[in-house]
Copies of this chain bind each other. A is one copy, B any other.
Amino acid sequence: MDYSNATPETIRQLIRNREFMMPTSGVASGYAQGNLVILPKEYAYDFLLFAYRNPKPCPLLYVSDTGEKHLDKIAAGSNIYTDIGNYNIYRDGKLVENIENVEKYHSDDLVSFIIGCSFTFESELVKEGIRIPHIEKKANVAMYDTNIRLEDSGVFSGNMVVSMRPIKARDVSRAVMITSSFAKVHGAPVHVGNPADIGIDDITKPDYGDFVGIEEDEVPVFWACGVTPQNALRQSKIPFAITHGPGYMFVTGIKNSDLITY
């Protein structure tokens, strides 16, 4: 089956029926996918302020009302507690459960944060003819812990995690300009070249994901990464949180093209 031309509604329905239980990379092409963080209201202020203070790693696509379950404003007919194929449950900062449906955890005290995802800007880069090696090699993007300190907010703090894409030297400038138009999905790179500067000692050994090599004519380009807020979440050791499982994103009804910020 090719799900790249399926509508977001179809994908969400299939997931809700447990008929599509795979990572969502490439599905519903043209529509934005989001990272999910669900928190008790008690911690929502600190997290919202953390996201405001660190917009590059934590670009918010949507913040639900407290208790809101159906995110109709960004995904008609959706249920954020059933429409992702794989969820992680954290207690006191520890991953304690990985499950396919979190309906049983819904309460009127929870807030859902949908955070922009690099799939959007990657598809724009590809559309503009810029080669993304990990996509061509069907690997995961390489991600690294850095020495870039984030701005704290209450219980949330930490360093930025970045994703790295080797970009042809002749394309780096265009890659910067294209992604700079997408502030809601991490925006322009935070660093170009020289990994040591941001505390990456060995570029061949990512902390997450796959290293796919860097060719002679390529430059490592670093973007703020959506893994950052999950790390901050773990470090905060807050009593309860739900996130999506890695690779299993929330497929929204927001068109990538509507995320361009002028």
Contacts and interface: CB of A to CB of B under 8 A. Distances in A.
A41 B49 CA distance: 12
Contact of A48 (B41, B49, B188): B49
Interface in A7-55: 41, 44-45, 48-49, 52-53
A153 B68 CA distance: 12
A262 to B, nearest CB: 5
Contacts of A52: 48, 52, 60, 63
Interface size classification for chain A = 10 to 19
A262 B177 CA distance: 9
Nearest to A153: B65
Contact of A49 (B63, B153, B261, B262): B63
A159 interface: no
A262 B180 contact: yes
A52 B49 CA distance: 10
Interface in A184-218: 188
Q: Is the interface of A mostly helix, strand, loop or mixed?
A: helix
A114 to B, nearest CB: 12
Nearest to A47: B45
B262 A188 contact: yes
Contacts of A60: 52
A53 B183 CA distance: 15
Contacts of A41: 45
Given A45-B45, A52-B63, A261-B261, 13 more contacts: A41-B45, A44-B45, A48-B48, A48-B49, A48-B52, A49-B63, A52-B52, A52-B60, A53-B63, A65-B153, A180-B262, A183-B261, A188-B262
Ranked 9 nearest A-B pairs via Cβ: A45-B45, A180-B262, A48-B48, A49-B63, A44-B45, A48-B49, A52-B63, A52-B60, A45-B48
17 contacts: A41-B45, A44-B45, A45-B45, A45-B48, A48-B48, A48-B49, A48-B52, A49-B63, A52-B52, A52-B60, A52-B63, A53-B63, A65-B153, A180-B262, A183-B261, A188-B262, A261-B261
